[in-house]
Structure 1
Amino acid sequence: MNAVFYYTLLQYRYAQSLGEVLNVGVLLLFPEQRQAVFRYPERLSRIRKLYPKFAEKTIRSYFKGIATRTNQLTKQPEIFADYEQHPRQLIDNEILIRDSSALQFGDVKTAILYTDDLAAISDQFYRLYLSFYDQEEHRIHHDEGYLVKEFQKRLRLRLNGVSLREAFEHPLTIKPEGTKFSYKFPFAWQNGTYNLVKPVSFDLKLEESIHEKATFNFGQFSLLQPYADQHNARFDLLVARPKDKNLYSAYDDALQQIERVPKVKIVEEDELDSYTAKAAEAFR
């Protein structure tokens, strides 16, 4: 007789009266191997968009607790012996009590153990039921064009519809003396210093690209120091960070490198509103 294993889905009942149920985890029980595996998604942004009142912190605490308990069960094989033919009781008594709360395991199902590689089975069941959460969502690339448009939009709102078309359609071009280089700035404003606005996006996919872009901008603004001294100018960089959190360290290093150049001000996206308010006040 072929060996079997059991599996069940952890379900989040957002609106039980409407029958709205989301699968948020999968539990696998391997009685002969005396092992339990619980898999759940790391990213829950898709649920947040569907259900704004989704209690994410509470759900994550359940995830952590269930994962910890299944790891403990794997280290206590004698417990499996007590429930070898009764997986539902094992779940209810040892992992998550069945009650009226929104987070509950569904029906327990039986499957044939088709390989001895239990990790491969858990991976396959995760992909089958939960890969939805890991699919890359469509997002707007926060490149230089995006930064300029966001700045323009905020500036127009602050200035009550005053047209800035001419100002943005005729960017300022600076050519450092003794070089063949030229640099364009889409906007400039004055409030004691002559502030030249330039977008610099680090919404990139590779750490090497971030380092290269930082080095380029470091060199560019180093060359522009004589201009800054002569015109009492400051270079205001509208900066976008990478979407990939694994690149945050490279991004922070890039900003530190650029900020070593005098007369440079970094304006990150979350500072754009306050920066625009100052520019609008000066523009009036």
Structure 2
Amino acid sequence: MKNDFYKYCILKYKHNVFLEESINIGILVFFSNNSKFSFTYSKNLSRIKYIYDNVPEKTIKEYLKRIELQIKRFSHIENDIFHSLEVNDLRNFISKNLLAIDSSSLQFSECKHNLQYDFHNEFIEEVLIKKFLIDDIKHFSNQPKEPKLLQKYFSNLKGLDFERINRNEKKFYIDYQLKNETGSVFTFDYAWQNGSLNLVKPISFDLKEPKSIAEKAYKNLGQFIDLEENAKNQNLRFDLILGKPSSKSLFKEYDHAVKLLEKIKFSKLIEEDEIVEYATKTSYEITKDL
């Protein structure tokens, strides 16, 4: 009917209550035409695990399962009580029955209220999911994992006064560019000086296929062999931060990839669990003479 309406709230994750940023991980929809709820959420929490370290994954998943069970229970209630719900009432319903309004990392947004017109419930649900949730998760899960390795490294350098460090001589660079003999330009996210100039590059092997890991290792091996003369003539070192596969079944391929990269001259390999130690070393070396 023309007077039917739907309401929806976005379930958001806030890693730090003091920050304004949040990430959509679920969406709750209520349809007045049948007094039913729909709740869709990220099953693997790929976005928040990609962006943040130390995510309480088990706790979050337990909350999500509880909310889902409650939604299923209320969706089986056959009465008209929800037809009279206004936006604020729905928010109170969520607070009392699904998730309390407090300072925890999971919070529902303010609810939106729209007329349904002649659109089917499934169509509206699909549109909302594509707009706020599913496409974003698919896009994000296909992104390269290198930025996470860099974030872990640089976050452990925060607090350094880079302007003071570089006041007398250049000791730390961002987006350092290196040209090979043919004029091709290679950009390194960071570079720092301690005798040699150490060029930092992340290489993630968190891939799905053994073949992809081998191909990526060979590609990088070829690129750095091409830059060996630069390293020799300019006193460079290639500091390669390596990301390990999530799947244990690919550890053998990863070990093989590491052995291939060990053939690169003028290089240092830093595995994922060594990033903090490597960042500490960077900090010490570029500040020890200040």
Q: TM-score, normalised by structure 2?
A: 0.49
1:70-117 CA-partner distances (Å, limit 9, x unpaired): 111111134x61673221222122222222211111111101113452
Q: 2:142 aligns with which of 137, 146, 166?
A: 137
User: What is the rounded CA distance, in whole Å, between the counterparts of 2:112 and 2:42 in structure 1?
Assistant: 21
Matched AA of 2:98: I
User: What is the rounded CA distance, in whole Å, between the counterparts of 1:47 and 1:63 in structure 2?
Assistant: 14
Question: Is 1:125 paired with 2:128?
Answer: yes
RMSD across aligned positions (CA): 4.0
SS at match of 2:114: strand
Tell me the CA shift for residue 54 of structure 1: 2.1
Question: Is 1:89 paired with 2:92?
Answer: yes
**Alignment: residue pair count:** 175
Question: Is 1:15 paired with 2:7?
Answer: no
Tell me the CA shift for residue 271 of structure 1: 4.8
Matched AA of 2:137: Y
Partner of 1:54: 55
Correspondences of 1:199-278 after superposition (within 5 Å): 268-272=252-256
Q: Is the 8 Å Cα contact of residues 8 and 108 (structure 1) preserved in structure 2?
A: yes
Matched AA of 1:106: S
Q: 1:98 aligns with which of 101, 108, 115?
A: 101
Partner of 2:43: 42
Partner of 1:24: 25
Q: TM-score, normalised by structure 1?
A: 0.50
Q: Is the 8 Å Cα contact of residues 151 and 272 (structure 1) preserved in structure 2?
A: no
Correspondences of 1:100-179 after superposition (within 5 Å): 100-130=103-133, 131-135=135-139, 137-139=142-144, 142=212, 144-148=214-218
Pair 9,138 (structure 1): closer, same or farther in 2 beyond 3 Å: closer
Tell me the CA shift for residue 55 of structure 1: 1.9
Question: Is 1:77 paired with 2:78?
Answer: yes
Matched AA of 1:84: S
SS at match of 1:72: helix
User: What is the rounded CA distance, in whole Å, between the counterparts of 1:96 and 1:114 in structure 2?
Assistant: 30
SS at match of 2:84: coil
**Structure with greater Cα Rg:** 1
User: What is the rounded CA distance, in whole Å, between the counterparts of 2:143 and 2:14 in structure 1?
Assistant: 26
Matched AA of 1:109: K
Pair 68,89 (structure 1): closer, same or farther in 2 beyond 3 Å: same
User: What is the rounded CA distance, in whole Å, between the counterparts of 2:105 and 2:213 in structure 1?
Assistant: 41
Q: Is the 8 Å Cα contact of residues 43 and 133 (structure 1) preserved in structure 2?
A: no
1:207-251 CA-partner distances (Å, limit 9, x unpaired): xxxxxxxxxxxxxxxxxxxxxxxxxxxxxxxxxx9x9x9xxxxxx
Q: Is the 8 Å Cα contact of residues 213 and 254 (structure 2) preserved in structure 1?
A: no
Q: Is the 8 Å Cα contact of residues 29 and 35 (structure 1) preserved in structure 2?
A: yes
User: What is the rounded CA distance, in whole Å, between the counterparts of 1:104 and 1:267 in structure 2?
Assistant: 37
Matched AA of 1:26: I
Q: Is the 8 Å Cα contact of residues 217 and 257 (structure 2) preserved in structure 1?
A: no
Q: Is the 8 Å Cα contact of residues 213 and 257 (structure 2) preserved in structure 1?
A: no
User: What is the rounded CA distance, in whole Å, between the counterparts of 1:268 and 1:104 in structure 2?
Assistant: 41
Q: Any gaps of 5 or more consecutive residues in structure 1?
A: 154-240, 246-251, 253-265, 277-284
SS at match of 2:18: helix
User: What is the rounded CA distance, in whole Å, between the counterparts of 1:64 and 1:90 in structure 2?
Assistant: 18
Q: Is the 8 Å Cα contact of residues 35 and 83 (structure 2) preserved in structure 1?
A: no
SS at match of 2:37: strand
Pair 146,21 (structure 1): closer, same or farther in 2 beyond 3 Å: closer
Tell me the CA shift for residue 149 of structure 1: 6.3
Q: Any gaps of 5 or more consecutive residues in structure 2?
A: 145-203, 224-244, 261-290
1:253-273 CA-partner distances (Å, limit 9, x unpaired): xxxxxxxxxxxxx98325538
1:38-63 CA-partner distances (Å, limit 9, x unpaired): 11123432322221122222222222
Q: Is the 8 Å Cα contact of residues 10 and 28 (structure 2) preserved in structure 1?
A: yes
